[in-house]
A = this chain, B = another copy of it.
Amino acid sequence: MATPGSLSTHAGIDLGGTKIQAAIVADDGSVLGSARLATPTTGGPESVVAALAKSLREAALAAGVNVPKRIGVGTPGSVDPRRTTVTGARNLSGFEGTVPLAALLGAALGAQIVLGNDVGVALDAEAALGAGVDLASFIGVWWGTGIGGGVVLDGQRWLGRGAAGEIGHVVVEMGGRRCPCGREGCVEAYAGRRALEERARKLHASGHKTRLFKIAEKKGRERLTSGVWAKALEEGDELADELIEHAVRAIAAGAASAVNLLDVEGVVIGGGLGTRLGEPYVAKIAAAMQQHLFRPERPPLVCLSKLGDFAGAVGAALL
């Protein structure tokens, strides 16, 4: 029985470039209460911290508990070894340098804050409570603004020298398209939401027809969010379809390369765009992987993240 503030509840916040997802989570990973807010795009760390605090208070209210004394936060950028500061989270307003996020949010909520890498904690949650229940080893492909990822081997995330898992920066085209990371031919250059938006804008400006920007306007979005892409695909928008098909091929080539290298049991697709586009696109990725697999007769299981939109918040709560 969860009593207010009891030890059986955990609190986590997934801080993304587009949205903030907070959750109060039970020991078994079930979500007792949650709240979602848009990530402030201006106002710097102060406004981001205010939104984080607000989301957590709303989630606690929804779960009927007090704000817990210890809260995990999954964040983009690099987290220091003491897990209190974040550096270079360029998706976030005013986070280009080092931000003492644990101290700032701790002061706002009167709680101890522990930071973790956003995709990393989501994958830890998948390994412990989601896809990992069926798969001892898998690759996670977090298809969102960028393409994050991770490698889980024998139930544990493999970190290498600390930066393993960059499936988004596996090269699928030598001398290929410029990636937001500055390199050429990475999976993310063809499949990340930011790269897709940039490409769509360029093609639209040069006369290609698309309803993407009309749909965004209607939805009151400045960016081509996952919902905008989903709507455009639903409406049969040719440009959206072409760009997403190319994204699928790039993700499939990168994931198949990882499988040829590691022969893992599964590939788990998550992230904002992955979760939003869902099963039909997971099936497309699986189909496009076949031609590249060294052992096509026994492909890995390709599946959607089991924890979906909550993977990050649940993972943060487990920190």
User: Which A positions have Cβ atoms within 8 angstroms of B?
Assistant: 137, 149, 151, 153, 158-167, 169-174, 181, 183-185, 249-250, 253-254, 256-258, 260-265, 291-292, 294-295, 298
Contact = CB atoms under 8 A, between A and B. Distances in A.
A281 to B, nearest CB: 18
A214 to B, nearest CB: 31
A291 B167 CA distance: 16
A263 B163 contact: yes
A163 B294 contact: yes
Contacts of A167: 260-261
Nearest to A171: B253
Contact of A160 (B160, B253, B262): B262
A263 B294 contact: no
Nearest to A259: B160
B263 A159 contact: yes
A289 to B, nearest CB: 10
A266 to B, nearest CB: 10
Nearest to A175: B249
Contacts of A174: 172-173, 249-250, 253
Q: How many copies does the complex hold?
A: 2
B261 A291 contact: no
Nearest to A257: B170
A168 to B, nearest CB: 9
Given A161-B265, A172-B172, A172-B174, A166 B258 contact: no
Contacts of A151: 261-262
Contacts of A253: 171, 174, 185
**A161, A249, A261 interface centre (most CB from chain B within 10 Å):** A261
Contacts of A295: 163
* Nearest 5 pairs of A and B residues by beta carbon: A160-B263, A164-B263, A170-B257, A166-B260, A171-B253
A83 to B, nearest CB: 19
A262 B151 CA distance: 8
B172 A261 contact: no
Contacts of A256: 171
A158 to B, nearest CB: 7
Contacts of A169: 257, 260, 292, 294
A184 B293 CA distance: 11
Given A161-B265, A166-B261, A166-B263, 5 more contacts: A160-B264, A171-B254, A171-B257, A173-B173, A174-B249
A10 B298 CA distance: 37
A255 to B, nearest CB: 10
B294 A181 contact: yes
Given A171-B253, A260-B170, A291 B184 contact: yes
11 contacts: A151-B261, A159-B263, A160-B264, A161-B263, A162-B263, A165-B261, A165-B263, A166-B294, A171-B256, A171-B257, A185-B292
